[in-house]
Amino acid sequence: MSTFSSAEVDVNAFYFAGKDMKSFPRRISVGDQAVTFADGLRVAVQRGSELTYLFDMLATDGGTYRLRQQGNQWTLLEAR
């Protein structure tokens, strides 16, 4: 598996979970690689008026991915 550091990604699909219907990325594209997620955790971090979401996602291929969402911008922070 490749390791990326602070690479911008495109989120191609979302899913919703929990009673609050929180959104999670289902599929992303990074470079020429497509990744599908099976499950994940989401944490909201707020600094003043800036809201950032961090996601730890488990891919269907067994890999673990950490993503950051700031507004409409998605960044892959780590892939293992």
What is the DSSP annotation of 40-73?
EEEEEEEETTEEEEEEEEEETTS-EEEEEEETTE
What's the pLDDT score for residue 3? 60
What is the pTM for the complete model shown? Answer: 0.89
What's the pLDDT score for residue 31? 86
* pLDDT band, residue 2 (cuts 50/70/90): low
- pLDDT tens digits, 45-60: 999 999 999 999 999 9
